[in-house]
């Protein structure tokens, strides 16, 4: 009897602890934008908008509230680059380009741990509080980080001073008084001076109810009829790949480009690591099990391709041959995540595979397969398949290829989702999936372009 009472008390305490943890967890109310940062080896960075969440719903960030620039790419919007939940630095938008129907943002990159550039402060800079806060906003750069591409604060004109004379070995006679020099005008950045718009072309009035992106320490809110900053000027270009997306060379300036998810949100939870620490021997066990599962998936796909033989007997031989031929894997990548802080890993395996075409299939030769597997491992190390994508080089028009980008908290609830890049004959798109107990649930699926 006493043991039962103790167990009941422990259960009550555990329930209160769990409730307290969920009560303290910060959840984003939006808007919350997700983008993909492309960081070149030379330090130049560009951002591709993916999705934006507003009031619990996801929209295409490249088209949401575009007037004409999408809200997710407005001037001086700040994105925090997070690799598997760990902050890598801040990206501040200073300009945008349009590639046909696609948008890409240019800006300044400040790696994590770097000291922000020093700049003068204005006495008017103060946080917006109370009723002046207005509608929900995405994160803006702190004043220390917004020096690049921003206008310097106005300062009072200084009194003129006569030019100082250089010292000389012989004492010269007293020089005549010189005229006072004019105040030196404040220098602006080259980007601003080169892209200053004419004064006679003001921007159209903005919607007062439109969510806007403001800095963390804004000055005063801009008036609705204020002209946009000159660096927000849309610049069209034709540098792209066959799929309509910007190429790595065109936007990165180098062959080695890192792809890092980026988040812009005025609130929401602080980023936390989503990686799952595992011992090398345990990782090898998971890898072996996933490759065995991948072999089954590819063999099933090969049997389906063998079914197109001209005769039933040939199709039978093809299916029998497909069941005996084993694929050879290349470029195997295994990622382990702890997405919801439950200490139960989510495993994602991506690989390419080769399997000789079975008899009866045409044309003769070798197919290249692309496979992406997502599985959940329980406390006993047993795997449960949550997602499988298998396609080949000749059927990308029907079955797109799925490439894992990373884990990212897209909806701002403290738990991470999986971000994939979908590649097909129609182009490239980005998809965000929430991991559930038995499958992947799509939160956002982009349109291939």
- How many residues are present in the chain? 449
Q: What does the pLDDT read at residue 421? A: 97
3-state class (DSSP) for residue 353: strand
Lookup: tokens for 203: 């921007």
Q: What does the pLDDT read at residue 190? A: 35
Q: What does the pLDDT read at residue 170? A: 39
Q: What does the pLDDT read at residue 114? A: 82
Q: What does the pLDDT read at residue 302? A: 85
Q: What is the largest CA-CA distance in the chain?
A: 115
Q: Which helix (H) or strand (E) holds 390?
A: strand 383-392
Contacts of 181 (CB under 8 A, 6+ apart): 160, 161, 162, 163
Find, among 382, 366, 387, the residue nearest to 431 by Cα: 387
Report angle CA 104, 106, 109 to the nearest 5 degrees: 130
Contact yes or no for 346/439 (Cβ under 8 A):
no
- For each of the chain's 449 residues, which pLDDT tens digit applies? 566 656 666 665 555 544 444 445 568 887 999 999 999 998 899 999 999 999 889 999 999 999 999 999 999 999 999 999 999 999 999 999 998 878 999 999 999 988 776 655 454 544 444 444 444 456 545 544 444 444 444 444 444 454 454 444 434 444 444 444 444 444 333 333 333 344 433 444 555 555 555 433 333 433 333 444 444 444 444 444 434 444 444 333 345 899 999 999 988 888 899 999 999 999 999 999 999 999 999 999 888 876 443 344 544 554 555 555 788 999 999 999 999 988 889 999 999 998 765 444 444 446 799 999 999 998 888 999 999 999 999 999 999 999 999 999 999 999 999 999 999 999 999 999 999 989 999 999 999 98
Q: What does the pLDDT read at residue 27? A: 81
Q: What does the pLDDT read at residue 226? A: 41
Q: How far apart are CA 173 and CA 68, in angstroms?
A: 66
What is the pTM assigned to this prediction? 0.68
**Which DSSP letter does residue 409 get?**
-
Find, among 361, 362, 364, 369, the residue nearest to 318 by Cα: 361
């Amino acid at each position: 009897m006493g043991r039962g009472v103790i167990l009941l008390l422990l259960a009550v305490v555990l329930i209160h602890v769990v409730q307290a943890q969920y009560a303290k967890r910060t959840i984003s109310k939006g808007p919350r934008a997700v983008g993909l940062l492309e960081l070149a080896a030379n330090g130049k960075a560009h951002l591709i908008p993916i999705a934006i969440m507003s009031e619990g719903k996801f929209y295409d960030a490249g088209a949401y509230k575009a007037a004409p620039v999408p809200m997710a790419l407005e001037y001086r919007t700040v994105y925090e680059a997070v690799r598997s939940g760990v902050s890598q630095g801040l990206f501040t938008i200073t300009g945008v380009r349009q590639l046909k129907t696609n948008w890409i943002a240019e800006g300044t990159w400040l790696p994590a741990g770097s000291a922000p550039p020093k700049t003068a402060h204005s006495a008017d800079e103060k946080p917006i509080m109370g009723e002046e806060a207005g509608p929900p906003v995405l994160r803006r750069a702190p004043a220390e980080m917004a020096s690049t591409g921003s206008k310097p604060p106005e300062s009072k004109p200084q009194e003129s001073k006569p030019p100082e004379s250089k010292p000389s070995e012989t004492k010269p006679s007293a020089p005549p008084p010189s005229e006072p020099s004019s105040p030196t005008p404040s220098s602006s950045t080259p980007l601003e001076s080169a892209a200053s718009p004419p004064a006679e072309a003001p921007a159209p009035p903005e919607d007062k109810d439109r969510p806007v992106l403001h800095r963390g320490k804004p000055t005063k809110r801009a008036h609705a009829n204020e002209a946009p900053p000159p660096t927000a000027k849309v610049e069209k270009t034709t540098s792209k790949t066959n799929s309509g997306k910007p190429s790595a060379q065109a936007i990165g300036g180098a062959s080695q480009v890192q792809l890092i998810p980026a988040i812009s949100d005025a609130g929401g939870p602080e980023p936390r690591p989503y990686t799952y620490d595992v011992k090398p021997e345990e990782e090898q066990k998971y890898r072996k099990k996933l490759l065995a599962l991948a072999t089954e998936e590819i063999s099933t796909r090969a049997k389906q391709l063998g079914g197109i033989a001209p005769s039933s007997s040939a199709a039978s031989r093809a299916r029998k041959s497909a069941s005996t031929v084993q694929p050879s894997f290349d470029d195997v990548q295994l990622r382990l995540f702890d997405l919801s802080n439950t200490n139960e890993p989510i495993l994602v395996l991506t690989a390419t595979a080769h399997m000789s075409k079975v008899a009866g299939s045409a044309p003769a030769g070798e197919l290249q397969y692309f496979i992406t597997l997502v599985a959940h491992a329980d406390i006993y190390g047993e795997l449960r398949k949550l997602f499988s994508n298998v396609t080949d080089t000749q059927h990308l028009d029907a079955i797109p290829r799925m490439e894992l980008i990373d884990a990212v908290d897209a909806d701002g609830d403290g738990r991470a989702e999986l971000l994939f890049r979908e590649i097909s004959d129609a182009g490239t798109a980005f998809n965000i999936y929430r991991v559930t107990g038995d499958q992947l649930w799509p939160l956002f699926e982009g349109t291939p372009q």
